[in-house]
Amino acid sequence: MQLAYLGILLSLWALCSSLDNGLGKTPPMGWMTWERYRCNIDCKTDPENCIGEHLIKSIADKMADGGWRELGYVYISIDDCWSLKKRDSKGRLQPDPERFPSGMKALADYVHARGLKLGIYGDLGNYTCGGYPGTTLDTIQIDAETFASWEVDMLKFDGCYSNSSEKALGYPKMSQALNSTGRPILYSCSWPAYEGGLPPKVNYTFLGSICNLWRNYDDVQDSWDSVLDIIEWFACNEDALQPAAGPGRWNDPDMLITGDFGLSYEQSKSQLAIWAILAAPLIMSNDLRSISQEAKELLQNRLLIYIDQDSLGKQGRRVAKVSSLEVWMRELVDEQYAVAVLNKGTDGIPKRFFMSLADLNITQSALGYKLYDVFEKEYVGIVKPETNIEMNINPTGVVMLFVCPASDRLHRL
Ligand code: GLA
């Protein structure tokens, strides 16, 4: 009797505490201000690039008419430094009126009219990381209500200036507060990144019940070193991270920096390939108003996006290391796979590499497999599991293959 009672209580608790917004069934895609625009609030001398409504509107226009939205890039998110340094007389956060003269609701309307969704940034703590007003345990409810009243669609909830106990209370509390507004708001939690990103300090099962995505590790910077560091951290900790991911709950290795200054063409391909293998959110931080055609084509690669957005939602992993080469692999629906071979070498020589699907335990299809080269955008041919596939992988670059059973028609592409 008592046990049954306890069971009911626990189920009720799970019902109330879990994030029930039905969002993020595939990794979220979009654009965010932080990596490229940081805390640039100088709208007087740098009106094109400061954090303000002009930047958001002009990027939203590009997302809507530059072919981005149709591919799934729908979230446009304002990161830190959007607010005034003081709450209003009713205790609500308020945007800086000089930089957001029309207000957030009008900006959300503008974004929605273009078929996009608006994201905003908050921080569980006394201040945001950039020193703007934070959300304390006492202001979680009012802030969730304010965001919902503006018709915001996503919240990135950072964790500067709070301790571990406050985080343990505050992240679930914000999840419930967002739920209670009745507005579906994609909830991105930076909590694990502040706790070292790993169990036992981070409980990924619980996190998956209260957040749609979460930052696990350090901020991406505009450099290949930074991307490599993130890749290595995810590879080393994949046993803990892989089971955490799935529809509605994603690990977030941080923003895509393709189209910025720090990555070469090959390195941009590598970041995209590994992010897709990791079932990572594809959130760009770049200037879509002036992006090169080359970078645009990489970010708009349909097969890459198809792989990232695969409905099985299973995160892939690094399966082998051979000198400077790494083999990464992700299982997709219907016995399809994505395979990426990354060449971390910097000696200048494209590396030749031979590998069969049988080496990767891809052997089920009696008729063999069709291979597509994701970045060359070409059909390679049909191979048997034991066929040796030859690849040439450029330094700091990647070769990525999409593998599907030969019997399967490619009707979803
Ligand atoms: C932290 C986060 C970044 C960004 C900044 C804003 O560093 O990890 O992604 O949001 O704060 O100040």
Residue 8, pLDDT score: 44
Q: How far is Cα 123 from Cα 160, in angstroms, rounded to an integer?
A: 7
Residues 328/344, Cβ–Cβ less than 8 Å: no
Beta strands 325-331; 337-343: pairing state: antiparallel
Mean pLDDT score, 377-393: 98
For the stretch 225-242, what's the b/e string if a residue is b when 16 or more beta carbons lie within 10 angstroms of its beta carbon? ebbbebbebbbebbebbb
Radius of gyration of the chain (CA): 22
User: Does some domain include residue 412?
Assistant: no
Residue 19, pLDDT score: 79
Average model confidence (pLDDT) across the chain: 95
Residues 51/33, Cβ–Cβ less than 8 Å: yes
Residue to substitute in 33, 129, 162 for testing ligand 1 pocket (most ligand atoms within 8 angstroms of CB): 129
* CA distance to 168, 223, 255, 355, per residue, from 390 (Å): 50, 30, 32, 7
Number of residues that this document lists for the chain: 413
Ligand 1 centroid from CA 39, angstroms: 10
User: Does some domain include residue 347?
Assistant: yes
Torsion sign (Cα): 193, 195, 196, 198: negative
Question: pLDDT by residue (tens digit) across 171-199?
Answer: 999 999 999 999 999 999 999 999 999 99
User: SS3 string of the chain?
Assistant: CHHHHHHHHHHHHHHHHCCCCCCCCCCCEEEECHHHHCCCCCCCCCCCCCCCHHHHHHHHHHHHHCCHHHHCCCEEECCCCCECCCCCCCCCCCECCCCCCCHHHHHHHHHHHCCCEEEEEEEECCECCCCCECECHHHHHHHHHHHHHCCCCEEEEECCCCCHHHHHHHHHHHHHHHHHHCCCCEEEECHHHHCCCCCCCCCHHHHHHHCCEEECCCCCCCCHHHHHHHHHHHHHCHHHHHHHCECCEEEECCCECCCCCCCCHHHHHHHHHHHHHCCCCEEECCCCCCCCHHHHHHHCCHHHHHHHCCCCCCCCEEEEEECCEEEEEEECHHHCEEEEEEECCCCCCCEEEEECCHHHCCCCCCCCEEEEECCCCEEEEEECCCCCEEEEECCCCEEEEEEEECCCCCCCC
Nearest CA residue ID for atom 11, ligand 1: 129
pTM to 2 decimal places? 0.95
User: Does some domain include residue 91?
Assistant: yes
Residues 232/9, Cβ–Cβ less than 8 Å: no
Looking at the structure, tell me whether residues 189 and 254 fall in a common domain. Answer: yes
Ligand 1 centroid from CA 323, angstroms: 35
Looking at the structure, tell me whether residues 226 and 137 fall in a common domain. Answer: yes
Nearest CA residue ID for atom 9, ligand 1: 219
Looking at the structure, tell me whether residues 268 and 333 fall in a common domain. Answer: no
User: Does some domain include residue 411?
Assistant: no
CATH of the domain at 253: 3.20.20.70
Residue 296, pLDDT score: 98
Question: pLDDT by residue (tens digit) across 31-43?
Answer: 999 999 999 999 9
Residue to substitute in 34, 154, 167 for testing ligand 1 pocket (most ligand atoms within 8 angstroms of CB): 34
CATH of the domain at 401: 2.60.40.1180
Ligand 1 centroid from CA 176, angstroms: 23
Residue 410, pLDDT score: 52
Given the CA of residue 193, which atom of ligand 1 is nearest to it? 8
Q: How far is Cα 140 from Cα 82, in angstroms, rounded to an integer?
A: 18
Residue 6, pLDDT score: 40
Beta strands 398-405; 317-322: pairing state: unpaired
Looking at the structure, tell me whether residues 293 and 328 fall in a common domain. Answer: no
Q: How far is Cα 212 from Cα 175, in angstroms, rounded to an integer?
A: 10
The ligand 1 site (C-beta within 6 Å) comprises: 34, 79-80, 128-130, 158, 190, 219
Phi, psi of 411 (to 5 degrees): -70, -20
Instruction: Out of 308, 340, 370, pick the residue that ends a domain.
Output: 308
Q: Which residues are catalytic?
A: 158, 219
* CA distance to 116, 264, 362, 382, per residue, from 302 (Å): 19, 21, 23, 21
Ligand 1 centroid from CA 77, angstroms: 13
- Count CB atoms within 10 A of the CB of residue 162: 24
Looking at the structure, tell me whether residues 49 and 187 fall in a common domain. Answer: yes
Question: pLDDT by residue (tens digit) across 283-307?
Answer: 999 999 999 999 999 999 999 999 9
User: Does some domain include residue 231?
Assistant: yes
Task: Give the domain extent around 355.
Answer: 317-405
Instruction: Out of 281, 308, 335, pick the residue that ends a domain.
Output: 308
Q: How far is Cα 117 from Cα 73, in angstroms, rounded to an integer?
A: 9
Nearest CA residue ID for atom 5, ligand 1: 129
Q: How far is Cα 315 from Cα 327, in angstroms, rounded to an integer?
A: 14
Mean pLDDT score, 374-386: 98
Looking at the structure, tell me whether residues 269 and 396 fall in a common domain. Answer: no
Ligand 1 centroid from CA 158, angstroms: 7
Mean pLDDT score, 373-397: 98
Residues 76/111, Cβ–Cβ less than 8 Å: yes
Question: pLDDT by residue (tens digit) across 309-363?
Answer: 999 999 999 999 999 999 999 999 999 999 999 999 999 999 999 999 999 999 9
Mean pLDDT score, 396-407: 96
User: Does some domain include residue 413?
Assistant: no
Question: pLDDT by residue (tens digit) across 70-124?
Answer: 999 999 999 999 999 999 999 999 999 999 999 999 999 999 999 999 999 999 9
Looking at the structure, tell me whether residues 296 and 172 fall in a common domain. Answer: yes
Given the CA of residue 34, which atom of ligand 1 is nearest to it? 4
Mean pLDDT score, 380-385: 97
Total domains in the fold of the chain = 2
Q: Give percent of the chain above pLDDT 70.
A: 94
